[in-house]
Structure 1
């Protein structure tokens, strides 16, 4: 699928004097979605990076004015450390340094538990579903390091390079990023080679950066859906056809697969990567509304692999109108997943299973594969 470019932080109008640089001693509360924990200064919520639940820290405000509803801050001194705290392996990680990693100060098993808590909390708060979540390790990294098969640096004068600070355009000069993999991406999955454009910038096809991700996600989607010979399957936000290729094999010559992708270059590649699959380039919502042959008014199976913002209501309602027996939703944002699961529930689809994968160690990001079906109780 195509992914949106990262958004710049919104600039809020000042509401009183700046609090930036002020320090407070606080007890850190629960982890929150976004790579931080929640603390309070009197009644004001502060989203604190570089902290862990239960710690007592000195935080320094990095964003906020007197009248804001919440502030942002960094834990600049740890008074009572968590047993899950470890020395960051990277010398550029920490307050005021590179903003690429959120969790280098956390032991790897605890990182996964924090991510599991976030997924559970989002599904409970937004979708009203209690779910037991375990974030699974994925083969291909080295104790959470050396997994980024594509890495971008900021070019600095004299041939040096750098990384940006958190929520900032300021650059920290670095020798190397410990997340960078020694080798570039492999486009071979389950014995099939995929054609992918690798031009820098907007022309590049989306491909997972963790080397273990493509195969792990294909396995999880196929295990969830259990495709049968003769079935019809829609692969939405299909990218270059990663899931379409294996869905087509599973449903066989008597079945059918349509791959819908907003990026027309990626859609053309999916046609080449997936013989026999109907490739449709264009906005997913528009194609579902009026761009597919009449035969696709129904579908047995659907794969949804949207960008970080999720599928949203219009696409979800187009999906449920086709009455699939099962939907596999691949999500890189727990909040968007929870919102869309709630929309599916309005139409009689329930969360039947959920798996979560640590495709982005040392960061707050987590990938989920959710199975939604028309029958049976909610998971949990």
Structure 2
């Protein structure tokens, strides 16, 4: 295997999925972060790819700048000011570009994924560009209502560098809402913890701080408990504190335990006239206005009518289930399916006042097989980043639903699933994109597929 050079001068090509621009060096593809199409840059090669087919690199100096380049709004995440590439925290890889141009690049990525994986042109199905979230700030900051931090060896609040285990001390996160930064957890000794997660209600109210032990043996849990008490004393009544004895993903699958340290272990979120209880590690949209932005888009795309029967799959705490159930009314029905037990319990509480809503817990494809007689007018699905996949697409198609409203947070898995739906007789006929993650490469889409 040939040795990659440590530095290169490159002219950057177009944007690629994942927040990179694509360049070439002696015929080899180089995926470059922190650049912009058309720039001439000097880069540091960070890792060669499998069998040296490609390399990854970070911009260290801009020789010919793009007209869209601006000063990064988060100094710690400015790659040009960093000592080394692994000194830059992840999560703001587009911060050096103007917001409108960020959205243009995200639209290009979405279009490229659809053309490559689904043989479909975004412009042919009504896509007119990536839209800002409702009530977005002009600077694209202060939007994260959920934030996950690591803890470094000194016991300080930290974030990981992109594609690295390196931890970078993080006193404040400009992408987060004020309620998160105002806790000043960087002032607390967090020794004994492996991770800290903070969730703040978008409509205001006390945040919830979840702390996770560095190790899950008895001694590690005791040390984490002591750290949780220090956090609790520091935040006082400004926040609730809970201790997760397993990683958040394991807890969401029912294998962990969430212990109350102070306050309560859940938050209340408000979207329109609907109130939602979201327990500790349960899923909720990250951007402060994403729930209302997506709810409006989904209801518009669905065209749901009173008396109809609908499915809401990967339903979470019921964000879409509640307004769909209200729309179909007492003469219609709404079947809400969620896999995570804790989130399912939240959904049951959130939908208990809507008797037309039935809430099931389990894998989507299995639950649909068990309700094989269900013949809905339409389906809404909001799968995780990996997408729905073959089994779920087949199960959805088997219901005979005429309309599918697909909410996605990943253009690659979305485009793959569009192709799977096409093989089952569904045609993509509407598509909108939303910038619910400013200064990152991520975007959200809401699409309509109709059965031929």
From 231, 234, 246, the counterpart of 2:323: 246
Matching residue of 1:185: 201
Choose 171-180 or 365-374, whichever is displaced more.
171-180
The structure whose RCO (Cα within 8 Å, separation 6+) is larger is 1
The yes-or-no answer on 1:271 pairing with 2:369 is: no
**Secondary structure class of the residue paired with 1:356:** strand
For 1:227 and 1:129, the matched residues in 2 are separated by 26
For 1:158 and 1:314, the matched residues in 2 are separated by 46
The yes-or-no answer on 1:117 pairing with 2:85 is: no
Contact 1:231 1:256 in 2 (8 A): yes
The yes-or-no answer on 1:194 pairing with 2:276 is: yes
1:140 positional shift: 4.5
Contact 2:49 2:56 in 1 (8 A): no
Matching residue of 2:364: 284
Contact 2:409 2:444 in 1 (8 A): yes
Matching residue of 2:332: 255
Matching residue of 1:6: none
| CA gap 1:150/1:65 in 2 versus in 1, 3 angstroms | closer
For 1:251 and 1:321, the matched residues in 2 are separated by 22
For 1:65 and 1:261, the matched residues in 2 are separated by 37
What does residue range 305-344 of structure 1 map to in structure 2 within 5 Å? 305-344=382-421
1:130 positional shift: 0.7
Higher helix share: 2
Contact 1:100 1:163 in 2 (8 A): no
1:141 positional shift: 4.2
User: Structure 1 stretches of 5 or more lacking a match?
Assistant: 1-14, 199-203, 376-380
From 15, 22, 27, the counterpart of 1:43: 27
Contact 2:151 2:167 in 1 (8 A): no
1:67 positional shift: 4.2
User: Structure 2 stretches of 5 or more lacking a match?
Assistant: 80-84, 180-199, 203-268
Contact 2:152 2:168 in 1 (8 A): no
Show CA shifts across 1:246-290 (max 9, x none).
Answer: 111111111001011111221122122112211110111211122
**Secondary structure class of the residue paired with 1:169:** coil
| CA gap 1:120/1:360 in 2 versus in 1, 3 angstroms | same
Choose 343-352 or 79-88, whichever is displaced more.
343-352
Contact 2:118 2:419 in 1 (8 A): yes
From 133, 142, 149, the counterpart of 1:138: 133
RMSD: 1.5
Show CA shifts across 1:109-139 (max 9, x none).
Answer: 0000000000011001110111124111113
Matching residue of 2:9: 25
1:65 positional shift: 6.5
Structure 1 ranges of 4+ moved more than 6 A? none
**Secondary structure class of the residue paired with 1:196:** strand
Contact 1:236 1:284 in 2 (8 A): yes
Output the TM-score relative to the length of structure 1: 0.89
**Secondary structure class of the residue paired with 2:108:** helix
Higher strand share: 2
Show CA shifts across 1:37-80 (max 9, x none).
Answer: 10001110010001100111112100016941100001111111
The yes-or-no answer on 1:153 pairing with 2:137 is: no
Output the TM-score relative to the length of structure 2: 0.75
The yes-or-no answer on 1:83 pairing with 2:67 is: yes
Matching residue of 2:117: 126
| CA gap 1:81/1:299 in 2 versus in 1, 3 angstroms | same
